[in-house]
Amino acid sequence: MMWRLVSCTLCLFVSAQLSSWSVRAAADELDGEVKIEVLFRPEECSPKSKRGDLMNVHYDGFLAKDGSQFYCSRSDKAGHPQWFVLGVGQVIKGLDIGMEDMCPGEKRKITVPSSLAFGEKGKDPVPPNATVVFEVEVYSVSRGPRSMEAFRKIDQNEDKSLTKDEVKEYLKLEYEKGGKPRDEAFYEKIMADIFRKNDQDKDGHISAKEYNIYEHDEL
């Protein structure tokens, strides 16, 4: 049971190396593109998933060539839905692509060529150059920590730009909310790190564009 859980986590949370073109792909192997079939879509379909969103999803993986299952059965009682951020390589590339625009309750069958899954090496028990099929069901979609909702919360004077004071104020509140207030030195260190990574033009402000790395179009 434990091993199965570990192997499930491993196979999904390793982003596949993009393999070179495989000339020996079998006839039932898919070339190049992700194929999406919507199995069920709720009438009220929102919010729709976008790059950077936090997703909670249940999925089963099968080999295209014989339909054998290699990943987390739904019937497995230990198979809890997985949390991950969409579009940033926490799951195989084919799922990052195939799970865009999904809402809670939606189910899809996503067929992924090996180049966007486990590549020419495969990943035990997935053999080399294997097209894989995932049946996914979305439980929840929420805007990730880098959403524009969060940006607006931090941007107290609403000038669409974040100063160090605004970010620090926000962090303090978050840490206090979590019951873990920290000292000044701690915040200074985090702030230096945040601005080094995000303030690309080094003007001392994080603009909406600098913040919005997942390209949500909500502004």
Cα(41)–Cα(107) distance, integer angstroms: 7
Closest CA to 126 of 100, 92, 97: 92
Q: At its nearest, how many Å lie between Ca ion and the CB of residue 198?
A: 8
Q: Which amino acid is located at 182 in the chain? A: R
Cα(95)–Cα(59) distance, integer angstroms: 10
Q: Which is nearer to Ca ion, 36 or 190 (CB)?
A: 190
Q: Which is nearer to Ca ion, 35 or 168 (CB)?
A: 168
Q: Which is nearer to Ca ion, 174 or 199 (CB)?
A: 199
Cα(178)–Cα(172) distance, integer angstroms: 10
- Interface residues with Ca ion (CB under 5 A) are 155, 157, 159, 161, 199, 201, 203, 205
Q: At its nearest, how many Å lie between Ca ion and the CB of residue 122?
A: 44
Q: At its nearest, how many Å lie between Ca ion and the CB of residue 144?
A: 21
User: What crossing angle do the helices spanning 184-198 and 164-177 adopt, rounded to 10°?
Assistant: 120
Q: Which helix H or strand E contains 62, and what residues bound it?
A: strand 54-63
Q: At its nearest, how many Å lie between Ca ion and the CB of residue 154?
A: 8
Q: At its nearest, how many Å lie between Ca ion and the CB of residue 212?
A: 12
Q: For residue 19, give every residue at least 6 positions away whose Cβ sits within 8 Å of its Cβ, in sequence order, or none.
A: 114, 115, 119, 120, 121, 129
Q: At its nearest, how many Å lie between Ca ion and the CB of residue 195?
A: 8
In this structure, are residues 49 and 136 in contact, taking their beta carbons and an 8 Å threshold? no
Burial of 176 (0-12, 13-18, 19+ CB in 10 A): exposed
Q: Which is nearer to Ca ion, 131 or 161 (CB)?
A: 161
